[in-house]
Structure 1
Amino acid sequence: MNLSEFCIRRPVFTTLLMVSFLTLGIYGYLRLATNALPNVDFPTIQVTASLPGASPESMAATVATPLEREFATISGIDNMTSSSITGSSSITIQFNLDRNIDGAALDVQTAISAAQPDLPKEMTSVPKLRKVNPADQPVFYIAVASDVLPMTQLSEYADTIMGQRIAMLPGVSQVNIYGQQKRAVRVRVNPELLAGRNLTMSDIAQSIQQAASITPPGTLMGRYQQFNIDIVGQPNVANAFKSLIVSQSSKGGISRLSDVGDVIEGAEDDRTAGYANGKSVVTLAIQRQPGSNTVDVVDRVKKLLPQFEQIIPASVTLTPMFDRSVSIKDSIHDVQITLYIAVILVILVIFLFLRQFSATLIPSLAIPFSLIATFGGMAALGFSLNNVSLLALALSIGYVVDDAIVMLENIIRYREKGLPAQEAALVGAKEIGFTILAITFSLVAVFIPVLFMPGIVGRLFREFAVTISMAILISGVVSLTLTPMLCQYMSFKEGGWSHDKTQWFQTAFDRVLGFYGRTLTFVLAHRFKTLMLTIGSLFVTVLMLIYSPKGFFPLEDNGLILTQTEASQDISFDAMVALQTKLAQIVENNPMVDKVTSRIGGRGSLNQGILVIGLKPQSQRPKIQEAMRQLRQELSKIPGINSYMQPVQNISVGGRLSRGLYQYTLQGLDYHDLKKWSESMIAEIKKIDDVIEVSTDLQMGSLQINVELIKDKAESLGITYDQMRKELYYAYGTAQVGTIYTQSNNFEIILEVDKSYQREIDNLKDLYLRTSSGKLIEFDSVARLKLGPTALSINHQGQLPSVTISFNLKEGGSLGRVTDQIKAIEKQIFLPASIISSYQGTAQVFQNSMAGMGWLLLLSVVVMYIILGMLYENFIHPITILSGLPSAIIGAIIAILIMGMNVDMIAMIGMILLIGIVKKNGIMMVDFALHAQRSGVSADQAIYDACLVRFRPIMMTTLSAFFGVLPIAFALGAGAELRQPLGIAVVGGLLTSQILTLYITPVIYLYLNRFVRNV
């Protein structure tokens, strides 16, 4: 007794089995998280180190290099980059995807400890690490503003009250605070007043350090009691430091800090700023933990906002800026609408062929049972409701009914021969059962190679492959159990329901079938020409795969644009603020724009800024590419500053923030060589038609004051390099000379000369140095000052100096074509072997993925052949079944090109899917022909009868698949850009393969059938 017979004779068992499928599926659905994409966790760690006042060269040589040397000993590193600017170095370490992030963090912390002896002793803080995921963009932004409170106090509210509380929420990974001006005590000294009291900056620094010392006094241990000792009255606010005694003469005269300067409550970093809606703001950017529910995380944060408003002063306003959950919900809603449309179209196709309500209902039940049960499997495997998994479910609609259609059509055929309902169900199910198994397992087999795809692409599409495979396997179970069981209760009316109303379709189908029979006879009579056409299509397929324009992923329109701005490298902070404000005002006034945030400084260079632009809903504006084009034109009118735009994508790879979506990196031992060759490459890359917004991170045009010690004179006076360096550091290096600790926070004490003495080169001459005899001499009496060029930032990759060239593509541009042209440019300009070139981020993943995609397609065919060979116990017939694949690939590529798209990763997955779909026609033909030949029918007659008898189920299943995927191919709305290439590829492939395989497969069958006995 086979499975179908068992279920036909045990209807209660079968019914309860399906109820259990539904129950588990509904339970699983309620547990599924909602996200934009499957969880892709890049094990990435970012280490930041600071030494205020140090030049980029000094930071790179004394901080970044020792740390990089230790990090290089850690196993599993995929990529390591660093960027050093004035006073700060940031090192990003990206590990292999299989590396455990917690273990990697322990290794990095150990390496930091090992590098500690080699780091500058002036560093007041240990390098800090944090786990980051470059694939995850912030999901929610909040702007905190006030017209009354200073930015330091506003920053304290944003950090201690809001940021820390939000970070404790379930699902929140971290809260980044932009535009923050952390409170500090700033001591601003007048060097002339200082010299008048025979003092130096070092004297002031020493006095403050002694006053702010937190050395623990100790404990008294008595016979019966113990007593802690503490010192009270230490200064902890700016005003308290003003009365600090900094010197005392032998005659009893004293000098206080207020006598030589001022002490104010200020910001630790006063060269950072954030703006939104024309106001100064502090922006909180919330990132979710990998695998958490984006929509739930955003909802939890929103629920906290009313609580924050009750705690903070009434003058503080909280404005939600950019909510990524909105686009996610819109995208998933649009996929669900697409899914519903596909269901309706598929059911309509079934009804037109069967023309009976009961007959239409039976295969249609396979859709809800298969899809709902799949939710249970998704929940068990930790998947989420996202664009990729829902796309898999939407695509599966056209295929989950295939098995049920084939089963139902075969049973109906026996009913039409006069068999009773139960007997027709038993005979029809037994005859077609193996065919259904072959269709199901061979379709699932095509996704096996996808499960082993490496890297980010493999991680993304693993969920797609497993989800659609589960749906297809469950549909196979439904078609072998529920479908034949229900068929025995199906009412049957000869000619179908309401014969007169649907006769037009039957008449049209009969004419098509008659035409097919006549043309098939002609093709079989000229089989050699058909064979040559098949072989030719194989060669055309290979050529089209090689020479078609390639891309990575289509650009999504999430309504969010990240714009990086850059001014001249020697620009002042105030001038940069003025230019950035002009850009922000232009963007805010654009009718396409909803909200804008702007920020300068922080961890970046002072000549760089960032605009985050939120566009209005898609119905109120053009596509995001057109919106960026218009904004570029407007922003280009502002002289002195450049802007580089890129749409924020759900699929983001690479560990660095760059000015373009694609990066090309040069590495070498010498920065001057790098500068020379990078400039040559940039000049040529700008000539490529598909490329726009070419930029580089090479910044060697800043200005530097070189201080040269007059050695002989300095030595005679007892003045050393270290003494001179410290005096300059305390004057201009934003020196942190102490820390104030409170119950809830701590604040740095910053020492510097007054702002009026920080503007000109000649201001250095106002400083004084103390000789070995105790007298003060003018700074320029022992030093020469020269102005020269210097680097604004120093970048390393893999411990080598590097220059990264970033670029974007024009709309319709091909990344594959661009990478080929860049390779040709390297040869054209004779790039030396000492300069190492490579792609980073998206471009690197694209090249790695494309290199293996051809092999993946081939492997899918091989796996399909193996599965079919095992099922049929035959080496030859699987080749017959797979003979229609080239025609499907040709149709897919032609459709992609007609629509003006690139053959990208999404389209490639569509082609892999086609491999599984197209063989279905061959399986139904070959299976019938083999049965007929075993009954003594000749091969010619067997395959001819197979084509005509199986024509109806072939058309039903193909049209179901076609109309199931049609809404995806022509979908609009949120996230449609990501889905369309796959739908278009499948539609194009189905159209060509359906026409050609109906003729190619029987011809190949007859040619290869001669070898069956021999093999």
Structure 2
Amino acid sequence: MVHHIISWSLRNRFIVLSLALALLIWGGFAVKKNPIDAIPDLSENQVIVFTEWMGRGPQLIEEQVTYPLVTNLQGLPKTKYVRGTSMFGMSFIYIIFDDDVDVYWARSRVLERLSTVTGTLPEGVTPQLGPDGTGVGHVLWYTLDAPGMDLGEQPALQDWYIKFALQNVEGVSEIASFGGFQKQYQITVDLNKLLYYGLTVPQVIGAVRANNNESGGRKFEMSDIGYIIRTTGYLQSIEEISSIPVLNQNSIPVRVSDVATVQMTGEARLGIFDQDGEGERVGGIVVMRYGENAAEVIEKVKAKMLETSKGFPKGVKFDIVYDRGKLIQESIDSIKHTLVEEMIVVSLVVLIFLFHWRSALSIIIQIPITIAASFILLNAFGISSNIMSLTGIALAIGVIVDNGIIMSENAYKHLSQRYEEWQEEQKKTII
């Protein structure tokens, strides 16, 4: 069989060269289309359901949130198993699907089931789907270098300006913020004063809620001019909250400031983010969407960051602390250097031992064609260009080169023998 293929190839050199050129061109398009990443994605095909119920212990979370969700999410089609984890104030459910299941089909099935489960959970508890990213989706971390802003203003800039801008980048699943303080108004109630005025904590809470809203009226026309009647009641300062009346006693209002202390402070934190021992920083994590090209996503995010930074206050700038793009570029450079080195070594070996440049050229041509065919197969099986796959290609090139050298040397040897036999026959003929 092999002899027939070789003989057919020799008789149809133009067809063989045309097929090789077509394979090389096809492989070139496959290289551009193949997603590039540094780390292979070996995570399971999963959908995460996150539920927050702050202030509750793990046991209560387990009984009233995690257990109902796990039992109701079991039985979904093409599901391997369902895992549940409970911690203080939070619950995580991991639904593991079969590897061949489309992740967005799986998310839609989970969302359908959650619509029937919400009624069995405590009031105010709403489960949410996690981002459509994988365990290796954190492609870029950044912090804000803002020497003139405090740790309460920086999260506001991150959450209300930067986050919305970067989330619009194609291929980004989520921008996870970290660091700083979340500003909030805190009302510290004095129980002795409540007892003195005969009030309860729910009454104080109800009074604040009732005054923190806006109600609309109707349109009022006067002198051919229309006026929209509405009341604006959103609380915007400590003084407004302090002056809210809770109860009237003998036509004298009992205000929030009479029974409590109102102050602007930060939400309680369980940790801080420190960078290089120089103090706290505020920043975000760019989570890549499932199946996207990491290199392209990183470049688009950087371009958007450059555009977004134009609207920063004076002195504020981005500081990238983790960039997977550098690792990706190093991986690509490594495979390029390996190819060049192997081509040079092969050429020298063939030229030194055979003194035949056409044999060296035939071996060198095999390398790019083989790599092109490898990327065609990578796209066919949905494998990205990463450290593992590129290393495998580099190792395989060595085997291909060795085979090429052996086959060239063997062919050269047999041709030499045939040439010597032909010369001897010519001599005998002449004699």
TM-score range, shorter chain: 0.7 to 0.9
Q: 1:531-568 CA distances to partner (integer Å, 9 max, x unpaired)? A: xxxxxxxxxxxxxxxxxxxxxxxxxxxxxxxxxxxxxx
SS of 1:202's equivalent? helix
Instruction: Tell me which amino acid in the other structure corresponds to 1:260.
Output: V
Q: In the alignment, does 2:207 pair up with 1:207?
A: yes
Identity across aligned pairs (percent)? 21
Q: Equivalents in 2 of 1:342, 1:403: separation in Å? A: 13
Q: Equivalents in 2 of 1:72, 1:391: separation in Å? A: 40
Q: 1:783-820 CA distances to partner (integer Å, 9 max, x unpaired)? A: xxxxxxxxxxxxxxxxxxxxxxxxxxxxxxxxxxxxxx
TM-score, with normalisation over the residues of structure 2? 0.82
Q: 1:44 to 1:337 in 2, by over 3 A?
A: same
Instruction: Tell me which amino acid in the other structure corresponds to 1:252.
Output: S
Q: Equivalents in 2 of 1:270, 1:195: separation in Å? A: 31
Among 45, 48, 58, the alignment partner of 1:46 is 48
1:533-612 → structure 2 map (5 Å cutoff): none
Which residue in 2 is equivalent to 1:846? none
Which residue in 2 is equivalent to 1:548? none
Which residue in 2 is equivalent to 1:138? 138
Which residue in 2 is equivalent to 1:281? 281
1:274-673 → structure 2 map (5 Å cutoff): 274-277=273-276, 278-351=278-351, 353-379=353-379, 382-401=382-401, 404-405=404-405, 408-409=408-409, 411-418=411-418
Q: Equivalents in 2 of 1:56, 1:276: separation in Å? A: 31
Among 64, 67, 83, the alignment partner of 1:65 is 67
Which residue in 2 is equivalent to 1:153? 153
Query: How far apart are residue 174 of structure 1 and its match?
Result: 1.7
Instruction: Tell me which amino acid in the other structure corresponds to 1:264.
Output: Q
Q: 1:128-164 CA distances to partner (integer Å, 9 max, x unpaired)? A: 1214545315111111253443433311211221122
Instruction: Tell me which amino acid in the other structure corresponds to 1:159.
Output: D
Query: How far apart are residue 61 of structure 1 and its match?
Result: 1.6
Q: Is the 8 A contact 2:24 2:369 kept in 1?
A: yes
Query: How far apart are residue 94 of structure 1 and its match?
Result: 2.9
Query: How far apart are residue 185 of structure 1 and its match?
Result: 3.0
Which residue in 1 is equivalent to 2:96? 94
Instruction: Tell me which amino acid in the other structure corresponds to 1:257.
Output: V
Instruction: Tell me which amino acid in the other structure corresponds to 1:70.
Output: N
Q: Is the 8 A contact 1:34 1:384 kept in 2?
A: yes
Q: Equivalents in 1 of 2:111, 2:291: separation in Å? A: 25
Q: Equivalents in 1 of 2:119, 2:376: separation in Å? A: 55
Which residue in 1 is equivalent to 2:223? none
Query: How far apart are residue 411 of structure 1 and its match?
Result: 4.0
Structure 2 stretches lacking a partner, 5+ long: 220-225, 423-431
Q: Equivalents in 2 of 1:79, 1:133: separation in Å? A: 19
1:1000-1015 → structure 2 map (5 Å cutoff): none
Q: 1:314 to 1:235 in 2, by over 3 A?
A: same
Q: Equivalents in 2 of 1:112, 1:369: separation in Å? A: 51
Query: How far apart are residue 322 of structure 1 and its match?
Result: 1.4
Q: 1:415 to 1:78 in 2, by over 3 A?
A: same
SS of 2:130's equivalent? strand
Q: Equivalents in 2 of 1:113, 1:369: separation in Å? A: 53
Among 83, 88, 96, the alignment partner of 1:81 is 83
Q: Is the 8 A contact 1:144 1:319 kept in 2?
A: yes
Q: 1:28 to 1:232 in 2, by over 3 A?
A: same
Q: Equivalents in 1 of 2:363, 2:53: separation in Å? A: 70
Which residue in 2 is equivalent to 1:104? 106
Query: How far apart are residue 247 of structure 1 and its match?
Result: 0.8
Which residue in 2 is equivalent to 1:542? none
Instruction: Tell me which amino acid in the other structure corresponds to 1:143.
Output: T
Q: 1:145 to 1:84 in 2, by over 3 A?
A: farther
Q: Equivalents in 1 of 2:120, 2:205: separation in Å? A: 25
Q: 1:372-429 CA distances to partner (integer Å, 9 max, x unpaired)? A: 4444554566543322222232122233346655654554344324459xx9xxxxxx
SS of 1:46's equivalent? strand
Query: How far apart are residue 321 of structure 1 and its match?
Result: 0.9
1:5-24 → structure 2 map (5 Å cutoff): 5-24=7-26
Instruction: Tell me which amino acid in the other structure corresponds to 1:195.
Output: L
Q: Is the 8 A contact 1:41 1:97 kept in 2?
A: no
Q: Is the 8 A contact 1:83 1:91 kept in 2?
A: yes
Q: Equivalents in 2 of 1:352, 1:117: separation in Å? A: 80
Q: 1:67 to 1:330 in 2, by over 3 A?
A: same
SS of 1:262's equivalent? strand
Q: Equivalents in 2 of 1:218, 1:69: separation in Å? A: 47
Q: 1:697-727 CA distances to partner (integer Å, 9 max, x unpaired)? A: xxxxxxxxxxxxxxxxxxxxxxxxxxxxxxx
Q: 1:5 to 1:212 in 2, by over 3 A?
A: same
Query: How far apart are residue 252 of structure 1 and its match?
Result: 0.4
Q: 1:89 to 1:197 in 2, by over 3 A?
A: same
Q: Equivalents in 2 of 1:145, 1:408: separation in Å? A: 61
SS of 1:295's equivalent? helix
Q: Equivalents in 1 of 2:231, 2:217: separation in Å? A: 14
Q: Equivalents in 1 of 2:379, 2:79: separation in Å? A: 32
Instruction: Tell me which amino acid in the other structure corresponds to 1:256.
Output: R
Q: Is the 8 A contact 1:139 1:323 kept in 2?
A: yes
Query: How far apart are residue 7 of structure 1 and its match?
Result: 4.0
Q: Is the 8 A contact 1:181 1:272 kept in 2?
A: no
Give aligned pairs, total.
413
SS of 2:282's equivalent? strand
Structure 1 stretches lacking a partner, 5+ long: 221-226, 424-1015
Q: 1:190-227 CA distances to partner (integer Å, 9 max, x unpaired)? A: 2233333222211101212222356x76889xxxxxx9
1:244-263 → structure 2 map (5 Å cutoff): 244-249=244-249, 251-263=250-262
Query: How far apart are residue 102 of structure 1 and its match?
Result: 2.0
Q: 1:117 to 1:14 in 2, by over 3 A?
A: closer
Query: How far apart are residue 246 of structure 1 and its match?
Result: 0.8
Query: How far apart are residue 63 of structure 1 and its match?
Result: 1.8
Q: Is the 8 A contact 2:142 2:283 kept in 1?
A: yes
Q: 1:366 to 1:152 in 2, by over 3 A?
A: same
Query: How far apart are residue 89 of structure 1 and its match?
Result: 2.3
1:98-247 → structure 2 map (5 Å cutoff): 98-121=100-123, 123=124, 125-179=125-179, 181-213=181-213, 231-239=230-238, 240-247=240-247
Q: Is the 8 A contact 2:27 2:372 kept in 1?
A: yes
Q: 1:928-954 CA distances to partner (integer Å, 9 max, x unpaired)? A: xxxxxxxxxxxxxxxxxxxxxxxxxxx
Q: 1:174-198 CA distances to partner (integer Å, 9 max, x unpaired)? A: 2211225434332222223333322
Query: How far apart are residue 254 of structure 1 and its match?
Result: 0.4
Q: Equivalents in 1 of 2:83, 2:267: separation in Å? A: 27
Q: 1:37 to 1:275 in 2, by over 3 A?
A: closer
Which residue in 2 is equivalent to 1:685? none
Q: Equivalents in 1 of 2:304, 2:370: separation in Å? A: 40
Q: Equivalents in 2 of 1:198, 1:360: separation in Å? A: 98
1:670-709 → structure 2 map (5 Å cutoff): none
Q: Is the 8 A contact 1:21 1:373 kept in 2?
A: yes
Which residue in 1 is equivalent to 2:36? 34
Q: Equivalents in 2 of 1:135, 1:178: separation in Å? A: 18
- The higher relative CO (CA closer than 8 Å, separation ≥ 6) is in 2
Q: Equivalents in 1 of 2:107, 2:406: separation in Å? A: 55
Q: Is the 8 A contact 2:350 2:357 kept in 1?
A: no
Q: Equivalents in 2 of 1:72, 1:218: separation in Å? A: 49
Q: Is the 8 A contact 2:165 2:308 kept in 1?
A: no
SS of 1:273's equivalent? coil
Moved more, 203-212 or 405-414: 405-414
Query: How far apart are residue 11 of structure 1 and its match?
Result: 3.9
SS of 1:309's equivalent? helix
Q: 1:229 to 1:116 in 2, by over 3 A?
A: farther
Instruction: Tell me which amino acid in the other structure corresponds to 2:73.
Output: F
SS of 2:235's equivalent? coil
